[in-house]
A and B are shown apart, each in its own frame.
Chain A
Amino acid sequence: MATTSIFPGESPDIQTRLALADDALILGHRTSEWTGHAPLLEEELALANIALDLIGQARALYQAAGELTGHSEDELAFLRDPAAFRNALIVELPNGDFAFTIARLFFVSVASDRRWRAGFDDPALSAVAEKAMKETAYHIRHAAEWLIRLGDGTGESHRRAQEAVDALWPYTGEITDNRAAWLQAVAPVLIRATLQQPKDSWMQSGGRDGRHTEHLGHLLAEMQILPRTFPGARW
């Protein structure tokens, strides 16, 4: 039995809240996929903690979006089709190797940090930002320190970190409105990591308009199958 999909409204306020919420949920889901696969126990817990932080942020943001659309946080997470998601493409990409996961977490967290600290006119979002910025500050610290060690580590870890940075770079245009500020925060870490900063050229986009990679559909299929198959299922 399939559950009918919902289509929240197109107003800018709703779209803004959903974009923030979807970024947090999808990156949180991707990060949670490391559970049981992390390179060492300590990192397993670190990634699980970060995933939980992000999903917690997503819940608060979906509640804020729900105030405008009348939907519950579960409905917004589980009953929308890929085209109704507003997350940036970078968060839906598969985890790749550990270097890719860490480089992405770093790039996205720096963008989130800028956004939380820039503040919002919308009081519902300001309340979320207040709490989220402390969590995000730790995500940056964790990801940056790992990126520095991977880049400035062994020949193999350097190669993998550089490949991750190069592969992710075209997806970083969508996560920030102020690229100069984002680059200013990212560049010193890349230098310490002995990694080459790629040249800015053509950037991927489309996530904010609901045009996603094929990866989001697979992610949502796995994430949504239970609530869609058994509506209202409880633990």
Chain B
Amino acid sequence: MPEPTTTLWEVFIRARNGLSHRHAGSVHAADAEMALQAARDVYTRRGEGLSIWVVPSAAIVASDPSDKDSLFEPTGSKIYRHPTFYEVPEDVGNM
């Protein structure tokens, strides 16, 4: 069991060039170097990653779940924000 004082780190892995880092999970480690190694050992065992970021969990500012209604609900009625009112010419291919 880790000591209660061991810092928690959030791990972000970039799978391939051109794709962004995505949240993979978290690890306990005493400092940044050990967090990086722990992330490598826990989350890239099957060739998942080309790049790792670790961020102290305490450094992440999260929205309050109880603010859900005011933050996210209003967008539900604004369908004109979706790019679905345009015809995409065939020549454009995949967007």
A49/B37 in contact, CB under 8 A? no
Partner of B30, one of A41, A45, A141, A149: A149
Closest chain B CB from A149 CB (angstroms): 7
B37/A141 in contact, CB under 8 A? yes
Max count, chain B CB within 10 A of own CB: residue among A42, A142, A149: A42
Chain A interface SS verdict (over half)? helix
Alpha-carbon gap, A49 to B42, bound state (A)? 9
Closest chain A CB from B51 CB (angstroms): 16
Closest chain A CB from B47 CB (angstroms): 13
Max count, chain A CB within 10 A of own CB: residue among B28, B31, B41: B41
Q: Restricting to B26-50, which residues have a CB under 8 Å from any CB of A?
A: 27-31, 33-34, 37-38, 41-42, 45
Interface string of A30-67 (1 = CB under 8 A from B): 00000000011111011001000000000000000000
Interface size class of B (residues with CB under 8 A): 10 to 19
A145 within 8 A of B: yes
Given contacts A40-B6, A46-B41, 12 further A-B contacts (CB under 8 A): A40-B2, A41-B2, A41-B42, A42-B28, A42-B41, A45-B42, A45-B45, A46-B37, A49-B41, A49-B45, A145-B34, A149-B34
Question: B residues near A, CB below 8 A?
Answer: 1-2, 6, 27-31, 33-34, 37-38, 41-42, 45
24 A–B contacts from the bound complex (CB under 8 Å): A39-B2, A40-B1, A40-B2, A40-B6, A40-B28, A41-B28, A41-B42, A42-B27, A42-B28, A42-B29, A42-B38, A42-B41, A43-B38, A45-B41, A45-B42, A45-B45, A46-B41, A49-B41, A141-B37, A145-B34, A146-B34, A149-B30, A149-B31, A149-B34
